[in-house]
Structure 1
Amino acid sequence: MSKDYPTFDCDAHITEPPEIWERANDNLTSQELEALRSTMWYDPESRQLIVNGKAGVGIGSQRRGGIPGTMRVITNAGPGVKHDIQRALNVRNLDPSTSLTQEQVEYLDHDGAYEPAPRLRDMDMQGIDQVMIIPSDIDTYPWLQNALGARAACKAYNDWAYEYTLENPDRLFFAALLPLQNPLYAAEEIYRPKYEPVWNALEETGLVYGMHPFPASGGLKPMGYSEQYSGAELIRRTISTSGIPHSFLSNVQNFQAEAALWVSMVLMSGFFEKHPKINAAVFEASSTWLSFVLDECDKAYKLYRNERQMAPLSRLPSETFFEHCMTGFEGDEAPPSRFPEFYRDILIWASDVYHHDGDDVWRAIDTMQQCELPVADQALFLGGNARRLYRVDPPKDIIRQRVTEIDRPDWWPTEEEIDKALLPESSLLRR
Structure 2
Amino acid sequence: MTSSRRSESDWQGLVNEFLICKRKLESKKDALLILSKELDSCQQERDQYKLMANQLRETHQSLKKKYRELIDGDSSLPPEKRNQVNLAQLLMDSRERNKKLADEIKELTQRLSETQGDNKLLRMTITKQRLGDDEVGVRHFPAHEREDLVRQLEKAALHVEELEHSLKTLSDELQDVKAERTVFKEKAERLNLELNHILGGQEKRIIDVDALCMENKYLQERFKQVQEEVSLLKSNIQKYKTALDRRRNPEIGGKSNSRALTGVLSPKQVQGLLSEDNGCSLPATPQSISDLKSLATALLETIHEKNIIIQHQRQTNRILGNRVADLERKLKTLEISGLWSLPGECLYVDHIFCAFHFPFVEIILFGLYVKEKLTQKRKCIPHQAMQDVDEFVSSSDLEKCSIASVAQQWMLCSEWVPSE
How does the TM-score come out when normalised to structure 2? 0.15
Larger radius of gyration: 2
Structure with the bigger RCO (C-alpha within 8 Å, sep 6+) is 1
Higher helix fraction (1 or 2) = 2
Higher strand fraction (1 or 2) = 1
